[in-house]
Amino acid sequence: MALPPLVPREILFGNPQKALPLLSPDGRRLAYLAPVDGVLNVWVGAPGKGGAGGVGPSDDQAVTRDADRGIRQYFWGRDSGHILYLQDKGGDENWGLFSVDLAAGSERELTPYPGVQVQVVDHSKHFPYDVVIAMNRTDARRHDAYRLDLRSGEARLVAENPGNIVQWVTDAQLRVRAAVAARDDGGFDLLLRASEDDAWARALTWSAEDALTSGPVTFSADGRSLVLRDSRGANAARLVRRPLPDGEAAVLAEDPDYDVAEVLVHPDTYEVQLASFVRARRDWVVLDRALERDIAAVRSLREGDFLLYDRTDADDRWLVGYTQDTAPASYYAFDRATGRGEFLFTTRPALERFTLAAMEPIDFRARDGMEIHGYLTHPHGVARTGLPLVVNVHGGPWHRDEWGYDPEAQWLANRGYACLQINFRGSTGYGKRFVNAGDHEWGGKMHDDVVDGVRWAIAQGVADPARIAIYGGSYGGYAALVGATFTPELFRCAVSIVGPSNLLTFINTIPPYWSSYRTMLYQRVGDPETEPEFLKSRSPLFHVDRIRIPMLIAQGANDPRVNRAESEQIVAAMREKGIDHEYLLFEDEGHGFAKPENRLRFYAAAERFLARHLGGRAQD
């Protein structure tokens, strides 16, 4: 038995060959991301063979000209004649909105405001030249809502943020008629108005208990009801329709243990057609019987879990993406009339030459009896016992790991490590009891769940207890620092990427536009004003003297979420105490690594670091 050949880092973490396809609203063209001189740009061509992902020659052309960070967020203008995309500078997340006129071949910046962050709220086939956006143009702390005319470039203010609005919602006429407002107690109010000229009125309140599992989805076509995710009166978020202003809600889809995830709404009738629940795998519930034949055909088209990424204005063609644990993402154009799908492309076809490892759902009981779920990826071709193990802790922490292709899991398994991913308490998707069990448990029970998962892997015989690493980014980077300081006896080494080291300074340096979430952070993490000693007790920086293991720390210099000082202050403390560590600072990155050269530099360093301390393989 032997490990399969090494998968080059360039294939795993370099630019994809093609990615993120989107059909034009008229169905005549397909856009996707692909490199131009090593930088991801938007390309446009004709969908099908010989174009836009087909196997033959094509006339596809790059329509954007980014030469720095690469484009990662874009969408079609509803007139099918424009591509719009968001871009920041150096990872600062001050996204500007740009438009490309495909016929003229010209580009312009629609929001030329330095230091301003743009968020796309909504756009509609029924208003092809309008986009509703939110900008913190007048006050860095709040995003007001604007209706942007793509022809003139004029942005008209349609809703002013008093300072506590965290979400705007439009109706079928693209009018901003609902808003979610943060409350001082950590909950949220749903605000409604009859028109954009009317005053706001509170329609309902979600307490802090329901805040992370509830929120608006869409108005009905006539604007008289609202579809919501709502966990009031239940454990998990149900999908409900609520007549306005205060009618009794009707449940459309529910599960006692899992929150409703994706919701597909008909673009004309605004009726809910599909809903998903992410259990061990993604499961879909068909609510519109007219789609049953289509969904049956989509399910049979390819193995794996699917998502509907796009649909034409005529709703005759869908763009469907599939994820599998042992293959890169693949995309198909699905013709509803024939029930057939036409293959477009896979994101990384070079991966198909290599043997990848299966990702297996796992579950175990934490020390207090709570059921914890996650995934384990074993190295292919070797015995499944006594392996070096890397526990890869997800970020957020209000997020979760899911089944499917995961480049880091495949990278680790290919190098000879078992990769353990744990959806610890505080992770989303498992109902409100589970997510709220993470309140005030950063570095506490959330870390206990990670430790209990590692001990489960040892008890199962999977992991060699002398060769275990903790690894992660963002909250996962914090968890890696916690592992090194709070439970160093369990780990041989740790890798932290953009991880907070001091919860006091982390909360006090959040971006100004996070101010509406400050109360939520105080409730769920801790209050720097009233609980400074508690936050210090959960901050790795104040426990550096406990570190007994080597550390690798990586940081983006322009990170607006986790300030570079979070890494540099703990690096300075380790340096002063003579603790074995490596520090990588990326001057042109923010919260993660957008540039492929930076990703490859980091993964090369991490691979050498893990091989040195756990004994796995490394590419030269």
Pick the catalytic residue: 123, 373, 591, 613?
Answer: 591
Pick the catalytic residue: 439, 516, 559, 613?
Answer: 559
Half-sphere exposure of 93 (CA within 13 A, CB side): 20
Residue among 303, 421, 410 at smallest CA distance from 356: 410
Sign of CA dihedral 294, 121, 507, 554: positive
Helices (H), 246-369: 292-301
Residue 13 phi/psi, 5° resolution? -125, -5
Is 591 assigned a catalytic role? Answer: yes
User: Which residues are CB-neighbours of 570 under 8 A, at least 6 positions away?
Assistant: 481, 501, 502, 540, 541, 544, 553
Beta bridge partners, 274, equal: 264, 286
User: Which residues are CB-neighbours of 530 under 8 A, at least 6 positions away?
Assistant: none
The DSSP call for residue 385 is S
Q: How far is CA 189 from CA 133, 162, 168, 479, in A?
A: 21, 13, 12, 32
Is 68 assigned a catalytic role? Answer: no
Pick the catalytic residue: 24, 474, 501, 516?
Answer: 474
Q: Calculate the dihedral angle through the C-alpha atoms of 96, 102, 103, 108, rounding to the nearest 10 degrees.
A: 10
Cα–Cα distance between 615 and 611 in angstroms, integer?
5
Contact 230, 248 (CB under 8 A): no
Residue among 284, 324, 283 at smallest CA distance from 302: 324
Residue among 388, 382, 376 at smallest CA distance from 465: 388
Cα–Cα distance between 212 and 229 in angstroms, integer?
10
> Token pair of 329, please?
């993402």
**Residue 468 CA to its chain's centroid (Å):** 27
Nearest 5°: the CA angle 330, 281, 482 is: 100
Radius of gyration of the chain (CA): 24
Residue among 362, 387, 361, 351 at smallest CA distance from 1: 387
Half-sphere exposure of 280 (CA within 13 A, CB side): 8
Cα–Cα distance between 128 and 105 in angstroms, integer?
19
Residues with catalytic roles: 474, 559, 591
